[in-house]
Amino acid sequence: MKTYFKGTKVLRNKGSKVGNRRRTKSIIFALFSIFFTLISSAQQQDSTKVNQLDDVLVSAVRVTTKTPVTFSNMDKKEIKYRNLGQDIPVLMNYLPSVVTTTDAGAGIGYTGIRVRGSDATRVNVTINGIPYNDAESQGTFWVNMPDFASSVESLQLQRGVGTSTNGAGAFGASLNMLTDSYASKATGEISSSAGSFNTLKNTVKFSTGLLNDHFEIAGRLSAMKSDGYVDRASSDLKSYFLQGTYVGKTTLIKALVFGGTQKTYQSWNGIDAETLNENRRYNSAGEYTDEFGNTRYYDNETDNYNQDHYQLHWSESISDKWSTNLAFHYTKGKGYFENYKEDADMAEYNLSPVGAINTTDLIRQKWLDNDFYGTTFSAKYVTEKLNVILGGGWNKYEGDHFGKVIWARYASQSELGDHYYDDYSAKTDGNVFAKANYQLIDKLSFYGDLQYRRVTYKANGAETGLVDDDFNFFNPKAGLNFEINQRNTLYFSYARANREPNRTDYEGGNVKPEKLNDFELGWRFNSEKFQLNSNFYYMGYKDQLILTGRLDDVGNPIRSNTDKSYRLGFEFDATIALSEKFILRPNFTLSSNKNVDLAVEGQFYGTTKIAYSPEVIAGNIIVYKPIEGLYLSLLQKYVGEQYMNNIELPAAKLADYFVNDFNASYEIKPKSIFKSITITALVNNIFDKKYVSNGAMWDIYPYYYPQAGTNFLVGLNLKF
User: pLDDT tens digits, residue range 371-417?
Assistant: 999 999 999 999 999 999 999 999 999 999 999 999 999 999 999 88
| CATH code (residue 65) | 2.40.170.20
CA distance 228 to 280: 13
pLDDT of residue 16: 42
29 sits in which H/E element: helix 14-42
CA distance 428 to 5: 19
Mean pLDDT in residue range 498-507: 87
Residue 232 lies in a domain: yes
CB 565 within 8 A of CB 12: no
Q: C-alpha angle with apex 218: 214 to 223, nearest 5 degrees?
A: 175
Give which of 705, 717, 710 is closest to 268, Cα–Cα. 705
pLDDT of residue 23: 53
What percent of the chain clears pLDDT 70, i.e. is strictly above it?
90
* Residue 227 burial (CB count, 10 A): 18
Give which of 515, 520, 513, 516 is closest to 480, Cα–Cα. 520
Residue 207 lies in a domain: yes
Confidence bin at 47 (pLDDT 50/70/90) = very low
Give which of 663, 660, 665, 667 is closest to 682, Cα–Cα. 663
Residue 7 lies in a domain: no
Q: Beta strands 630-639 and 657-668: pairing type?
A: antiparallel
CA distance 313 to 323: 13
Q: Residue 361: give the domain boundaries.
A: 14-719
Mean pLDDT in residue range 67-83: 92
* Backbone dihedral region for residue 284 (phi beyond 0: left; psi -120 to 50: alpha; all else: beta): alpha
Mean pLDDT in residue range 244-255: 93
CA distance 89 to 83: 12
CA distance 273 to 649: 15
pLDDT digits (tens, 9 = 90+) for 418-439: 999 999 999 999 999 999 999 9
Mean pLDDT in residue range 320-334: 95
Type of residue at 311: Q
CA distance 500 to 553: 23
CA distance 470 to 247: 41
pLDDT of residue 40: 42
Mean pLDDT in residue range 175-194: 94
pLDDT of residue 506: 84
* Residue predicted with more confidence, 81 or 45: 81
pLDDT of residue 553: 63
State yes or no: pLDDT of 711 exceeds 70: yes
Mean pLDDT in residue range 466-472: 91
Annotate 541-560 with b (16+ C-beta within 10 A) or e (fewer): bbbbbbbbbbbbebebbbbb
pLDDT of residue 504: 84
Mean pLDDT in residue range 335-352: 95
Residue 255 lies in a domain: yes
* Residue predicted with more confidence, 598 or 30: 598
Residue 211: CB partners within 8 Å, gap ≥ 6?
A: none
φ, ψ of residue 387 to 5 degrees: the values are -130, 115
The per-residue DSSP string of 183-201 comes to -SS-EEEEEEEEEGGGEEE
State yes or no: pLDDT of 508 exceeds 90: no
State yes or no: pLDDT of 633 exceeds 50: yes
pLDDT of residue 554: 64
* Residue 410 burial (CB count, 10 A): 17
CB 590 within 8 A of CB 615: yes
Lowest mean pLDDT among 238-252, 353-367, 462-476: 462-476
State yes or no: pLDDT of 691 exceeds 60: yes
Lowest mean pLDDT among 543-557, 643-657, 668-682: 543-557
Mean pLDDT in residue range 602-608: 89
CA distance 389 to 436: 6
Total domain count, the chain? 1
480 burial via Cβ count (<10 Å: 0-12, 13-18, 19+): middle
Cross-strand partners of 263: 236, 304
CA-CA distances (angstroms) from residue 171 to 383, 478, 501, 666? Answer: 32, 17, 12, 40
Residue 530 lies in a domain: yes
Type of residue at 185: K
State yes or no: pLDDT of 478 exceeds 50: yes
CB 474 within 8 A of CB 431: no
User: CA-CA-CA-CA torsion for 573, 442, 53, 169, nearest 10 degrees?
Assistant: 60
Cross-strand partners of 284: none
Give which of 135, 130, 331, 102 is closest to 233, Cα–Cα. 102
* Residue predicted with more confidence, 555 or 278: 278
CB 458 within 8 A of CB 425: yes
Residue 99: CB partners within 8 Å, gap ≥ 6?
A: 93, 113, 114, 115, 614, 617, 639, 693
User: CA-CA-CA-CA torsion for 54, 80, 523, 565, nearest 10 degrees?
Assistant: 90
Lowest mean pLDDT among 227-231, 367-371, 534-538, 552-556: 552-556
State yes or no: pLDDT of 637 exceeds 80: yes
State yes or no: pLDDT of 227 exceeds 90: yes
Give which of 166, 177, 158 is closest to 115, Cα–Cα. 158
Mean pLDDT in residue range 618-628: 96
pLDDT of residue 511: 86
pLDDT of residue 31: 47
CB 135 within 8 A of CB 427: yes
Would the pTM of this model clear 0.75, i.e. be above it? Answer: yes
Residue 384: CB partners within 8 Å, gap ≥ 6?
A: 439
CB 241 within 8 A of CB 146: no
252 sits in which H/E element: strand 251-265
Cα R_g (the chain), whole angstroms: 26
Type of residue at 3: T
Residue 3 lies in a domain: no
State yes or no: pLDDT of 367 exceeds 90: yes
State yes or no: pLDDT of 50 exceeds 70: no
pLDDT of residue 170: 86
Looking at 196-250, which runs of residues are DSSP E strands?
199-207, 215-226, 235-247
* CA-based end-to-end distance of the chain: 39
CB 623 within 8 A of CB 648: no
Confidence bin at 41 (pLDDT 50/70/90) = very low
Residue 139: CB partners within 8 Å, gap ≥ 6?
A: 3, 119, 120, 121, 133
Mean pLDDT in residue range 506-531: 91
Residue 354: CB partners within 8 Å, gap ≥ 6?
A: 346, 360, 410, 412
Cross-strand partners of 206: 188, 219
CA distance 305 to 261: 6
Residue 5 lies in a domain: no
SS3 content of the chain, % helix, strand, coil (to 5): 10, 55, 35
State yes or no: pLDDT of 532 exceeds 80: yes
Q: Beta strands 173-179 and 123-127: pairing type?
A: parallel
Mean pLDDT in residue range 284-293: 92
Task: State the number of CA atoms in the 13 A half-sphere of 321 facing the CB.
Answer: 6
State yes or no: pLDDT of 51 exceeds 80: no
Average pLDDT, the chain: 89
* Residue predicted with more confidence, 100 or 554: 100
Residue 4 lies in a domain: no
